[in-house]
Amino acid sequence: MALFGIVGAGLMGHGIAAALARAGHHTRLHDPDPAVLGDVHDRVERALELSGTPEAARMAVQDHISAVPDLDAALHQVDVVVEAVPERMAVKHEVVAAVEALVPPRTPIWSNTSVLSITGIADGMRHPERLVGVHWWNPAHLIPLVEIAPGAATDPAFVRSAHDLVTSLGKTAVRLHRDVPGFIGNRLQFAMVREALHLLDEGVCDAETIDTVVRGSFGLRLAAVGPMENADHIGLDLTRSILANLAPHLSTATDAFPTLDKLLTDGHRGRTTGRGLLDWTGPHDVTSRLIEGIRRNLPAR
Ligand SMILES: NC(=O)c1ccc[n+]([C@@H]2O[C@H](COP(=O)([O-])OP(=O)(O)OC[C@H]3O[C@@H](n4cnc5c(N)ncnc54)[C@H](O)[C@@H]3O)[C@@H](O)[C@H]2O)c1
C-alpha cells in the first residue's frame, strides 16, 4: 500500500482521500485553512454515509486518513503527492514549487486541475517530468472515471504508474495522448453548457426547460451509450448530415456570455446566493439527488 500526501483538503481533496483510503492506502491531508482541515473527518464521514458505505468500512477509511497542518510533515516520505488546490495557475505554481522543495525528484506529483494545462502548471518546475494530470470527478470516492494526461515534459513512466495505481483502486482510468485544457470530460460538458447559455441568450427557452430536456431525453441514455457509439448506432451518414445542418447554428462564443455575465454582475451566483440561472430560495435536494442518480447508474461490481 502507498502513502499519499494530498495538498488541499477541500471538496476534491477529501473525496480523493476517501477513494484512496477505501482501497487501503494511507493518506495525509494538508490545508492551510485550519477550519477546512478541522472538519475533514466529518466531511469524509458524511460523504461515505450518503453513498451507503457501512459503518465498519467507514471506520476503516477514517483510520487511513490523517489531517496534517504542517506541509513538511504531511509530505514526509510520501510515495505520491496529489495537488487539489484552487483552480488558479498562480496558486498551482506556488504549491508545486513548495512541494518540490520538500520531496525527492522521483516522487510523482499528480495535479487534479479541471481545465488548466498540465504543461502550464509544470512551467518553472525543477522536475516537470514527474507532473501528471490525474483528474478525478466529484464525488471522487463514487465516480469511477479518472482522466490521466501527460504534460509536454512528463516522463511516460510517471503516466504509466499513475494509470496502474488508479486502476488498482477499482477505478476506470483513461489516458489522453496529450495535454489539452479540460481533458475530455470537461470539454464535452462545457461545450453543452456553452450551447445551453446560447439558447438562453437567443430567447429560445428558459433555464428550467433546458434541464427538463436534458434530464428527460439524452441524459437518460448517456450512462448506457456514449456519443461515439450512438453516432455509429444511428449511422455516420445521418450523423454527418445532422452536423452539416446544425453545426453552423451552434455557439462558437469564446468570451461573450450575456445572460451569465448579467447574473454575475447583479450578484447572482447560483445556489449560494439563492438565485442563479434558477431560483434557489426554496428547499432543494440537489446533493442527495445527485448521489442517488450516480449510484443508480453505477455499473454493478
Ligand atoms: N469541484 C469539483 O467538482 C472539481 C472536480 C474535479 C477537479 N476539480 C479541481 O480540483 C481542484 C480543487 O478544487 P476543489 O473543488 O476541491 O476546491 P476547494 O476550494 O473545495 O478546495 C481547495 C482547497 O485548497 C486549499 N488551499 C488554498 N491555497 C492553498 C495552498 N497554497 N496550499 C494548500 N492548500 C491550499 C483551500 O484552503 C481549500 O480548502 C481544482 O483544481 C479544481 O478545478 C474540482
Q: Which residues pair with 81 in a beta bridge?
A: 5, 109
Ligand 1 binding pocket mutation candidate from 37, 72, 114, 136 (most atoms within 8 A of CB): 114
Query: From CA 248, how far away is CA 227, in angstroms rounded?
Result: 20
Cα of 175 from ligand 1 centre, angstroms: 22
**What's the confidence (pLDDT) of residue 197?**
98
172-175 and 3-7: which strand pairing?
A: unpaired
**What's the confidence (pLDDT) of residue 60?**
96
Judged by DSSP in three states, 295 sits in: helix
Contacts 24+ apart (CB under 8 A), 22-25: 22/53, 22/57, 22/61, 22/141, 22/169, 23/168, 23/169, 23/170, 24/64, 25/1, 25/64
Residue type, 174: V
Distances (CA, A) of 255 to 118, 188, 201, 251: 22, 18, 13, 11
Residue type, 53: T
**What's the confidence (pLDDT) of residue 235?**
98
**What's the confidence (pLDDT) of residue 89?**
98
CA of 9, closest atom in ligand 1: 39
**What's the confidence (pLDDT) of residue 299?**
79
Give pLDDT tens digits for 21-41.
999 999 999 999 999 999 999
**What's the confidence (pLDDT) of residue 301?**
63
Read off φ and ψ for residue 86, nearest 5 degrees.
-55, 155
Regarding the beta carbon of 81 and ligand 1, being less than 6 Å apart is answered no
Ligand 1 binding pocket mutation candidate from 85, 89, 94 (most atoms within 8 A of CB): 85
Query: From CA 62, how far away is CA 67, in angstroms rounded?
Result: 10
Asked if residue 106 lies in contact with residue 77, where contact means CB atoms within 8 angstroms, the answer is no
The list of the chain residues with pLDDT below 50 reads none
Regarding the beta carbon of 32 and ligand 1, being less than 6 Å apart is answered yes
**What's the confidence (pLDDT) of residue 109?**
98
Q: Whose CA is nearest to atom 21 of ligand 1?
A: 10
Containing H/E element for 110? strand 109-111
Domains and CATH numbers, the chain: 3-175 (3.40.50.720), 185-297 (1.10.1040.10)
Helix ranges (DSSP H) in 117-226? 118-122, 156-168, 185-201, 207-216, 218-222
